[in-house]
Structure formats: C-alpha cells, structure tokens
C-alpha cells in the first residue's frame, strides 16, 4: 500500500521541483510569439487555451499503454512502481517537455525535421521512415484494442469488424478536419470519462480495502514465467514511464500553445498525469490478482481481459462499464492523433501545404488503405514491433534534445543520461528477443555496451563537427527556421 501512495506523492513532487529545473535549463521566453499565432492556418496551427492543450496532450499520449502496460508490468511486482516513478520524472516527462518545446521553437516541426537539423541532414530521411512506421503501427494497434473492448461491452453488437469500421471512420474525420472542430470539441467529453474512470478505480481500491493487498516495495522479480526484468520491464511499461510515441504527439500541441510558459503544465504535467494513471492500474492489478492468476487472464486474449475483470470487481456492473469506457477512450484518442500526426509528418517531408482538404485527402487516403491491410496481421506481433519501435523513437528524441541543449551550451546531461540508458535497453532487446536476433542474454549485455559506446563516439564527433561550424547567424543557434522554406504556401500573420 505504502509503495503505491509513496509513488503518487513522488510524482507530484517531481512536477513541483524537478520540472522547474528542466524549464529553467531550457530558457523559456514568455514574450516570444508561438507558431499558433505566427503560422495560424485554421487547421493545424490554431491557438487554444492551456487547459484544453493539456487535456488534448494527455489524451494524445495516453493510449492503452498506461493501462495495458502497467497491468502486464504488474506481473513483475512492485519493481514496476520504481520504473513508473523514476522513469516518468527523470525520463518520460523530460522527453515530452523538451521535444514539445524544441518543436515549438522550430515552428511546430516534427521529429524527422528536428533530427535533420540537430543530428545531421541524413538523419531526417531515416527518422522520417522510422516515425511514419511507428505512427502507422500505433494507429492500427489502437483500432484493434478499443474495437475488442467495445464488442465485449456491447455483448457482440456490431461485431468486431463493425466497430473497426466505425473507429476507422472517426479516425479519418479527425485526421482531415481542423483540430478545433473535432478533437478540440470532443476531447473534453472523452477526458471527463477517462478521469472519472481512473478516479473510480483509484478511490475504490481504498474504500474496498483491496489497497492493502498491494505488495510493499522490493526489487524481487515476481513474474510467474520468470521473465527477465531487464530489458522486459522497460518495454512492457512505456506509456506512463517513457514512450517515444509522445515525440510524435508533442509537436501537434506545439502548434496550438499560446505561450511558452504553458509548456511546463501542458507537456511535463500531462506526462505526470499519465504516470498517476499507470500507478492506479498497476496497483489494481497487484491488489486483485496474484501473478499466476493475472498471467492466465492476460493469456486469454490481451490485457483488455484484465481491464474488464478489474473494473467489474471494483466498481460493479454499472461503474465497471463506465471504467471500461474510460479505457476505450484512451486508445481512440491516441489512434486519431497518430494518423493526424502521420499526415503532418508526410506533409512536412514532402512540403505539401495542408490548408486545402484535397491535399489532406491526398495523404490521408493511402495511409488508411495501408492501415486497413495491416489489420489482418496478428495483434500480438504488431504490439511487439510497436514496443521496440516506440522506445527506439524515444532514444532518437532524447538525442535530438541533447544535441539542442549542447549547441545552446546548456545542461544536456538531463536528456543524454536517460537517452543512453534507453539506448542500451533498445539494443539489448533487439539482440535477445524473438523479433530480433535471439542471442544469449549474458553475451548480449557486453555486445550492447560496445554498440552504445560506438554510437556515443559518433554522436560526440557529430556534435564537435556541428559546434565548430556554428556562426553568430547560424540556423542552429536561431531557433526559428526559415518559415518561407518550411511552409511556402502559408500566409504569415504578423
């Protein structure tokens, strides 16, 4: 019980204290005009209030990850709490804040554009392909999971494919319509359902007395199948601790933030909130089931089976249904912006202005055709590839942030340390898992260290090379890129 309560308190303390360190290190300029005003286009660049941006950011980044991941992470025992809390405060929230703010300083540019600027031009093309693949996987995965839950809640009404079609229709509309017309209006409703559901589960854990069943903090690996904590836990729980998918979502909100000072609440704060959600569901899973029982429930399908069991046990049929609806909201509000973000990434890469609907259709229609084809691939296989691609993207985003801070002569270790840590895990996972090379774990420990060292040497060389080429009027020192080059067809509002 105290491990859960202590973790929640630490998350709030992290926001109150450590976020101030991170914000000061970035160097916020309260009077700087943001892209929402400079590039206002009525579609993607639209000024919105701080509270609305926070809610949209939270719903964008919180797919099934902060629920499914912590439930599966609960199999490892209370060590999951350690990763959620430490990962969130010192890695995930830092990752989300810096990527969002660096994007804001670069006219709402997405990760591929930022990678090209701060890691070298060649990286732009590599990261663009990588980001597009990740977003396509996210969008597809986040059709399957809510469709399964909706089919269960409605006792088979419409069937699985009926719900898939309806969700795809909503995703298409939210991808092509202006952000304030669909997402900006419907998200407050979705947000209310989400927060009500999480509050219901969290409060009922205490009122029912089940919170006392949560094991006290220890480093013991309690996984019933004896799966290794390293690297498994860091890929099982991503959303809630650290997730590269967030690097594709923060730039969406960087285009709607009204003032730079709001970044702390919008980016860092939304991630802390996601950490609280992850803690609640991990605690609920540990409180209600022993590891073997939870493993058997998950094995029946996906973690959605455990979500239903937890919700109905704690809240009864009516409250449980509301809680399940709250869980359904999460993947839907990440899937829609995954496709929207993918449209933006492709448009930015190909320099296709998105003011007209015809040009949005030109990009969106092929995206949805490909995603529809991916629906016929096994969900669990897609999820494993998504897990790896997700954390690899986090590494790229943290190295972009480190390069930005280095070139600005600020403390870059706040992003480089978590970046190196996750880089090691990404390589180790690829070497040892079935989706990779399936090598021996002990051998892979040493191989991973060598590869990380080589990448760090290459990164240091690139930073030295770029810093030597900087002039007083260099684009690397001037945050705003040439707007006319990035968006030649947009009207610039003074």
Domains identified in the chain, total number: 1
For residue 210, pLDDT over 80 is answered with yes
Looking at the domain assignment, is residue 421 inside a domain?
Answer: no
Percent helix, strand and coil across the chain, each rounded to 5?
Answer: 75, 0, 25
**Token pair for 62:** 């919180």
Looking at the domain assignment, is residue 468 inside a domain?
Answer: no
- Residue where the block lists tokens 């945050």: 479
Q: Which residue range is the domain that position 26 belongs to?
A: 2-401
**Token pair for 295:** 């493993």
Amino acid 429: pLDDT: 92
SS3 call for 312: helix
- Read off the pLDDT of each residue in 147-158 and give the average, rounded to a whole number: 79
Distances (CA, A) of 300 to 22, 295, 297, 433: 43, 9, 5, 22
pLDDT-wise least confident of 232-236, 326-330, 456-460: 326-330
Amino acid 199: pLDDT: 85
Looking at the domain assignment, is residue 16 inside a domain?
Answer: yes
Higher pLDDT, 10 or 46: 10
Q: Give the closest residue to 342 by CA, choosing from 371, 313, 318, 316.
A: 371
Taking each continuous run of H as one helix and of E as one strand, the counts in the chain are 22, 0
Looking at the domain assignment, is residue 246 inside a domain?
Answer: yes
pLDDT digits (tens, 9 = 90+) for 302-317: 666 777 788 888 877 7
CATH assignment of the domain containing 268: 1.20.1740.10
Mean pLDDT, the chain, as a whole number? 85
Rounded Cα gap, residues 4 and 99, in angstroms: 29
Neighbours of 156 (CB within 10 A): 10
- Read off the pLDDT of each residue in 248-260 and give the average, rounded to a whole number: 92
239, 65 in Cβ contact below 8 A?
Answer: yes
Amino acid 434: pLDDT: 67
For residue 190, pLDDT over 70 is answered with yes
What is the distance between the terminal CA atoms of the chain, rounded to a whole angstrom? Answer: 55
pTM for this one? Answer: 0.86
Looking at the domain assignment, is residue 285 inside a domain?
Answer: yes
Rounded Cα gap, residues 392 and 423, in angstroms: 7
407, 466 in Cβ contact below 8 A?
Answer: yes
Amino acid 331: pLDDT: 75
Looking at the domain assignment, is residue 439 inside a domain?
Answer: no
Looking at the domain assignment, is residue 484 inside a domain?
Answer: no
């Amino acid at each position: 019980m105290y491990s859960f309560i202590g973790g929640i308190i630490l998350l709030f303390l992290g926001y109150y204290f450590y976020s101030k360190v991170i914000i000061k290190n970035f160097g916020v300029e309260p009077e700087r005009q943001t892209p929402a005003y400079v590039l206002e286009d009525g579609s993607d660049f639209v000024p919105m209030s701080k509270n609305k941006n926070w809610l949209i950011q939270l719903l964008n980044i919180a797919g099934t990850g902060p629920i499914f991941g912590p439930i599966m992470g609960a199999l490892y025992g209370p060590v999951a709490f350690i990763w959620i809390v430490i990962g969130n405060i010192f890695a995930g929230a830092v990752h989300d804040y810096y990527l969002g703010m660096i994007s804001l300083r670069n006219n709402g540019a997405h990760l591929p554009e930022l990678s090209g600027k701060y890691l070298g031009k060649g990286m732009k093309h590599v990261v663009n392909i990588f980001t597009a693949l990740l977003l396509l996987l996210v969008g597809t995965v986040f059709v399957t999971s809510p469709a399964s839950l909706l089919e269960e809640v409605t006792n088979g009404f419409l069937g699985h494919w009926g719900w898939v079609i309806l969700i795809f229709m909503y995703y298409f509309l939210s991808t092509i319509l202006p952000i304030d017309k669909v997402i900006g209006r419907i998200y407050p409703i979705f947000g209310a359902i989400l927060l009500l559901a999480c509050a219901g589960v969290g409060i009922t854990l205490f009122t029912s007395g089940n919170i006392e069943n949560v094991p006290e903090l220890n480093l013991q690996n309690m996984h019933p199948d004896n799966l290794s904590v390293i690297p498994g836990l860091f890929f099982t729980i991503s959303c809630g601790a650290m997730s590269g998918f967030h690097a594709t979502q923060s730039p969406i909100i960087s285009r709607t933030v009204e003032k730079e000072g709001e970044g702390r609440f919008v980016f860092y704060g939304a991630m802390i909130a996601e950490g609280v959600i992850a803690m609640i569901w991990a605690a609920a899973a540990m409180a209600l089931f022993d590891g073997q029982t939870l493993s058997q429930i998950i094995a029946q399908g996906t973690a959605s089976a455990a979500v239903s069991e937890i919700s109905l046990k704690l809240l009864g049929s009516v409250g449980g249904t509301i809680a399940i609806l709250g869980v359904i909201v999460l993947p839907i509000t990440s899937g829609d912006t995954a496709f929207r973000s993918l449209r933006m990434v492709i448009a930015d890469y190909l320099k296709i202005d998105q003011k007209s609907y015809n040009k949005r259709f030109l990009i969106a229609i092929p995206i949805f055709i490909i995603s529809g084809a991916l629906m016929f691939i096994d969900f669990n296989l897609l999820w494993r590839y998504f897990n790896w691609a997700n954390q690899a993207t986090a590494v790229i985003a943290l190295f972009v942030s480190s390069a930005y801070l280095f070139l600005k002569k600020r403390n870059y270790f706040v992003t480089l340390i978590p970046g190196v840590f996750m880089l090691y895990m990404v390589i180790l996972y690829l070497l040892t898992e079935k989706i990779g090379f399936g090598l021996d774990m002990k051998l892979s420990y040493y191989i991973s260290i060598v590869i990380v060292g080589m990448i760090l040497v290459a990164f240091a060389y690139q930073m030295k090379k770029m810093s030597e080429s900087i002039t007083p009027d260099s684009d690397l020192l001037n945050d705003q890129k040439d707007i006319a080059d990035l968006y030649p067809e947009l009207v610039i509002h003074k």
